[in-house]
Chains A and B, each alone.
Chain A
Amino acid sequence: MKINIVLSALMFSLLLVACGGKEEKKKDGFSVDRTKSTEKTVETSTATDEVPASQRVTLDEKGVGQIKSITLDPEIDMEMANAGEAIYNTNCTACHKLDKRFIGPSPRGIMKRRSPEWIMNMILDPKLMTEQDRCAKDLLIEFNGAAMANQNLTVEETRSILEYFRTL
């Protein structure tokens, strides 16, 4: 009887080998790997930046995306800012409130922390940013994993939101 068991096991392993299947290192019994790989990445990111992403000042970072360089007039263009406010109210207020931290951060004071390019890139392609920009990635984690929605705004619309942010 024992021989037969061995034989069938042999056949089974033959099957695995024959099909080029990876040889599985099988441990007896039941075990759980308790080291979470995600914990490691969090560790390394917080090790270098003690400050939460929302408080960090990254004015030198332009982010990843189509906006490479923006020059702001010293004067705020109020017409543009008003248009931006309307677009912001329709597309952004579900998650971003002026007076509090909500699903995402408040835009108040953002011009002191982020570059104009970074802000526009974040609005235009949040998926790309959270994949490739360090600060955007940390913000996603800080804000509970609630990914920012791409609202399919044009560059012009996004630029006017930026102008609105200057008035806050």
Chain B
Amino acid sequence: MKNYKHYVFALLGVGLLLAGCGNQNGKSSSNGALSSSAAEKVYVAPGEQDEYYAFLSGGYSGNLTVYGLPSGRMFKEIPVFSQFPTSGYGYSEETKPMLNTSFGFVPWDDSHHPDISQTNGELDGRWIFINGNNTPRIARISLSTFETEEIIEVPNSAGNHSSSFITENTEYVVAGTRFSVPVPQRDMPINEYKGNFKGALSFISVDPEHGHLDMKFQLLMPGFNYDLSHPGRGKSHGWFFFTTYNTEEANSLMEVNSSQNDKDFIAAINWKKIEEYVNNGGGTKMPANYAHNVYDEHSHTATSTMRKEVLTVDPTKVPGAVFFLPTPKSPHGCDVDPTGQYIIGNGKLSADLTVHSFDKMIAAIEGEKFDGEAYGIPILKFEDVLAGTVKSGGLGPLHTEFDGKGNAYTTFFISSEVVKWKLGTWEVIDRKPTFYSVGHLMIPGGNSRKPFGKYVVAMNKITKDRYLPTGPEMEHSAQIYDISGEKMELLYDFPTHGEPHYAAGCPAELLAPKSKKIYRLTENKHEFATLTPNDARVERNGNEVHIYMSTIRSHFTPDNIEGIKVGDKVYFHITNHEQDFDVPHGFSIIGQNTSELLVMPGQTKTSIWEPKKVGVWPFYCTDFCSALHQEMQGYVRVSPANSNIELSWSLGE
């Protein structure tokens, strides 16, 4: 027995010797030169930086993640709709209002489709928008601070899915409802859905200077499911296109009952025409209740305001503004090519892709060649608007992106592949498998007039055996392909966080030079900021205690506080006095019922602490800030509720 052991070691030694020195003898040699060139293409050497930013939605994490391409390295998770203890977002007093809604505080959502702001149809890198699907909301995130700056709730909507896509000068961010509902909401039998429910398509204007969002108007469409959307661009600028399903208006066993019609529609909306209509006093003001939350970069504080009214538009009142384009088999993705000429509807139960022509649509509208109407909205003839059909041979087409060189790339969920095809000739050029069951795909700038067609990222719904197993629950997988040549080449796999639905990407040089490094202390307008350590103090107002505290490497001012009593509500207002890049300080105190705070240089954040026990309780910095980080701590003395201990504070005394 013992002898065997030593033989085993010896053999192991030989094995190690063979395998240890690289891949000459290992199984990877079978991929040979090909795999090493793929490795070179995704390898970003230590200290070097990626070529592209990629922003992947976090799905049911409610957030947005930032990646680098081609490396697939994750740089940051930006909290948007979900509380985030890592930074204190949604826990700090300043950011709690960001998650306010007409349903109260909603600390989570399901984020789906990020879209970067554009000027003249090209990415301008000012902001990125993303939708909350569950409690309908649209968020705007600054691309200089990479922080969520604004969230607007969308009234009359439910399942905010055909969102958040922007028009080519960022005039509007558009949000459509996936689930139709009674508008206004009321108590009524579910089975009276048909003919009674409405689908609200919201056009939210974006202030060109500050990006502030305003609910300009809502188009109240028939009660279909508005699944995805994209803006017209170039020649079709001024139009917006939405795929629909459940034109059957079924309200139960939808997977069967919503799949009865051979064709559903793409709704074509001439928003310029409707904008003109409402600017001339058209539309009906309707009582509503929805939250508008704005974070101010200088006060480092968010405020939430309830809006009480929304302007609604009946599509039949604006002639020539809304049309239905018949599209086969419950279309999902609705994508417009960089020229604005082709509108692609991916019938998710079909093998083929339907491509509509914008020019033919305009001709059909002008010729009034209608094939009936639905709830007063003209239906165009399928044959009159069809540009072509891509016979792909794949199954379950979902989404299409473009490379700017005349090619389109479509994902197929059921057959797990990306298919490259040519716009205009509709011929299939290449197809590559994905691993597994791909949803969206993303080419940087792929939803604009100017895509950067070097890489495509496929975001998959199923991971299975792609990584080391981590129990039943695994992160989703993504694949990056080189699309610079005629054929696609699979380069790399990387895990993604939550469930990325859509993503948006842009060249690194668009954002990196203007990424903010610090907040200027001199520009700090926070109500409870401590702008010099001399102002650090503790104030009592009844049982409310406000601690004005500053931090710098490596101490809190003050760090000894006495006179706090059980039953007090203690506000720690922490101002970070660092003015150097990447020197945040953290703050946490034992028994805090929220999360820590991570305070960026020049920023102020507030955490509430309600001491429940008598004693001397420590607080400390949570972010390793210097060689003396472990010394960055302090104590709060908590006395009984009836104690006479005077309020006092000090540092180094």
List A residues at the B interface (Cβ < 8 Å).
1, 4-5, 7-8, 10-12, 14-15, 18-19, 89-91, 93-95, 102-103, 144-147, 149-153
- B626 is contacted by which of A11, A102, A146 (Cβ under 8 Å)? A146
* A-B pairs, 7 with minimum CB distance: A11-B13, A4-B6, A8-B9, A94-B552, A151-B579, A152-B579, A8-B10
B204 within 8 A of A: no
Whether A7 pairs with B10 at a CB distance below 8 angstroms is: yes
CB-based contact B627/A145 at 8 Å: yes
B579 touching A91, Cβ below 8 Å: yes
Partner of A15, one of B13, B534, B553, B627: B13
Report yes or no: B20 in contact with A149, Cβ–Cβ below 8 A: no
Of B2, B20, B628, which is within 8 A of A146 by CB? B628
Give the Cβ gap from B14 to chain A, nearest Cβ, in Å: 6
A14-B17, A18-B20 as given contacts; A94 in contact with B6, CB under 8 Å:
no
Count chain B CB atoms within 10 A of each CB in A7, A12, A149 and give the residue with the most: A149
Please determine whether A89 and B580 come into contact, CB atoms closer than 8 angstroms. Answer: no
Contact of A147 among B10, B20, B518, B627 (CB under 8 A): B627
Q: Which residue of B lies closest to A11 (CB)?
A: B13
Q: What is the minimal beta-carbon distance from B557 to any residue of chain A, in angstroms?
A: 6
Q: Which residue of A lies closest to B552 (CB)?
A: A94
Contact among A8, A93, A146, A152 with B553 in the assembled complex (CB-CB below 8 Å): A146
Q: Could you tell me the distance between the alpha carbons of A104 and B580 in the complex, rounded to whole angstroms? A: 18
Known contacts A4-B6, A91-B577, A103-B555; decide if A18 and B17 are in contact (CB<8 Å): yes
Docked Cα-Cα span, A23 to B20, in Å, equals 16
Inter-chain CA distance A90–B557, complex, in Å, is 13
12 more contacts with CB within 8 A, not counting A94-B550, A152-B518, are A5-B6, A8-B13, A12-B16, A14-B17, A15-B20, A18-B21, A90-B521, A146-B553, A146-B628, A147-B626, A149-B579, A151-B579
Most buried by A among B6, B14, B21, B550: B6
Q: Which residues of A contact B532 (CB under 8 A)?
A: 89-90, 93
| A94 partner residues in chain B, CB cutoff 8 A | 533, 550, 552, 555, 557, 577
A12 and B13 in contact (CB under 8 A), knowing A1-B2, A4-B7, A147-B626?
yes
Q: A91 contacts which of B12, B521, B628 (Cβ < 8 Å)? A: B521
Q: How far is the CA of A15 from the CA of B11 in the complex (A)?
A: 12
Q: Tell which of B2, B518, B628 has the most Cβ of chain A within 10 Å.
A: B628
Kindly identify, within residues 485 to 536 of chain B, every residue whose CB is under 8 Å from any CB belonging to chain A. 518, 521-522, 531-534
> Can you list 30 residue pairs at the A/B interface with Cβ under 8 Å?
A1-B3, A4-B3, A4-B10, A8-B9, A8-B10, A10-B13, A11-B10, A11-B12, A11-B14, A12-B13, A12-B16, A18-B20, A89-B534, A90-B522, A90-B531, A91-B521, A91-B579, A93-B532, A94-B550, A94-B552, A94-B557, A102-B652, A103-B555, A146-B553, A146-B628, A149-B552, A149-B583, A151-B579, A152-B580, A153-B579
Q: Does B554 contact A (CB under 8 A)?
A: yes
A136 to chain B, nearest CB (A): 16
Q: Is B337 an interface residue (CB 8 A)?
A: no
B contact residues vs A (CB 8 Å cutoff): 2-3, 6-7, 9-10, 12-14, 16-17, 20-21, 518, 521-522, 531-534, 550, 552-555, 557, 577-581, 583, 626-628, 652
Contact yes or no, B578 A149, CB < 8 A: yes
- List the B side residues contacting A18 at CB < 8 Å: 17, 20-21
Contact, CB under 8 Å: B20 / A19:
yes
A89: nearest chain-B partner, CB-CB: B532
Chain B residue with Cβ nearest A90:
B532
Q: Which residues of A contact B577 (CB under 8 A)?
A: 90-91, 94
B626: which A residues are within 8 A, CB to CB? 146-147
* Cβ contacts under 8 Å, B581 to chain A: 152
Q: Which residues of B sit under 8 angstroms from A12, Cβ to Cβ?
A: 13, 16
- Of the candidates A1, A146, A152, the one whose C-beta lies within 8 Å of that of B6 is A1
| A contact residues around B521 at 8 Å (CB) | 90-91
Q: What's the minimum C-beta distance from B66 to chain A, rounded to whole angstroms?
A: 24
Determine the chain B residues whose CB is within 8 A of the CB of A145 once the complex forms: 627-628
Distance, CA A5 to CA B557, complexed state (A): 63
> Which of chain B's residues have a CB closer than 8 A to the CB of A10?
13
Q: How far is the CA of A95 from the CA of B3 in the complex (A)?
A: 67
With both chains docked as a complex, state the minimum distance between the C-beta of A83 and any C-beta of chain B, in angstroms: 12
* Residue pair B628, A144 in contact (C-beta under 8 Å): yes
Chain A residues whose C-beta falls within 8 Å of the C-beta of B518 in the assembled complex: 152
CB distance from A163 to the nearest CB of B (A): 18
Least CB distance, A151 to chain B, in whole angstroms: 4
- Distance in angstroms from B560 CB to nearest chain A CB is 15
Cα distance, A103 to B21, chains bound together (Å): 52
Contacts of A91 in B (CB 8 A): 521, 577, 579
Q: Give Cα A15 to B16, complex, Å.
A: 7
User: Cβ of B553 and Cβ of A147 under 8 Å apart?
Assistant: yes
Min CB distance, B319 to chain A, in Å? 59
Q: Give CA–CA (A94, B581) in the complex, Å.
A: 18
Task: Give bound CA distance, A11 to B16, whole Å.
Answer: 9
A150 CB contact (under 8 Å) in B9, B534, B550, B579: B579
Nearest opposing residue in chain B for A157, CB measure: B522
**Please, which residue of chain B has its CB at the minimum distance from the CB of A20?**
B21
